[in-house]
Amino acid sequence: MDALRIVQLMKFELARHFLTKKAWLALLAFALVWLMIYRYGVYEAVNILEQPEFEQFILSIFGNFGMQSLLHWPDAEMAVYSLIASVAFPPFVIYLCSDQFVSDRERGTLRFLSLRATRLEIVLGRFLGHCLSTAVLIAISLVGVIILVALRDISIVPTALGHAMTYELLLLVNLMPFIALMSLLNTVAKSSRMALIYTILLYSIGMIVVTLLQVKLGLPLFFDYLFPGEPIDQIVTLRPDVASAIVWPIIQSALFLGLGFYKFQRGSL
How many Å apart are CA 138 and CA 140, to the nearest integer?
A: 5
Q: What's the chain's average pLDDT? A: 83
How many Å apart are CA 42 and CA 83, to the nearest integer?
A: 10
Q: Given a cut of 80, is residue 27 above it in pLDDT?
A: yes
Q: Rounded to two decimals, what is the model's pTM? A: 0.86
pLDDT tens string 153-199: 888 889 889 999 999 999 999 999 999 999 988 888 888 888 889 88
Q: Given a cut of 70, is residue 5 above it in pLDDT?
A: yes
Q: Name the DSSP class of 228.
A: T
**pLDDT at residue 173 in the model:** 93
Residues 179 and 250 sit within 8 Å (Cβ to Cβ): no
Write a three-state SS string for 154-220: HHHHHHHHHHHHHHHHHHHHHHHHHHHHHHHHHCCCCCHHHHHHHHHHHHHHHHHHHHHHHHHHCCC
pLDDT tens string 48-62: 666 666 666 666 655
pLDDT above 90: percentage of residues in the chain: 19
Higher pLDDT, 68 or 47: 47
Q: Given a cut of 90, is residue 250 above it in pLDDT?
A: yes
Confidence tier at 111 by pLDDT (50, 70, 90)? confident
**pLDDT at residue 138 in the model:** 94
Q: Given a cut of 60, is residue 34 above it in pLDDT?
A: yes
pLDDT tens string 113-157: 777 778 888 888 889 999 999 999 999 999 989 998 888 888 888
Exposure string over 146-163, b if 16+ CB within 10 A, otherwise e: bebbeebeeebbeebeeb
**pLDDT at residue 255 in the model:** 92
pLDDT tens string 83-96: 888 888 999 999 88
**pLDDT at residue 23 in the model:** 82
**pLDDT at residue 45 in the model:** 66
Amino acid sitting at position 172: L
Q: Given a cut of 60, is residue 63 above it in pLDDT?
A: no
Q: What distance lies between CA 99 and its chain's CA centroid?
A: 15
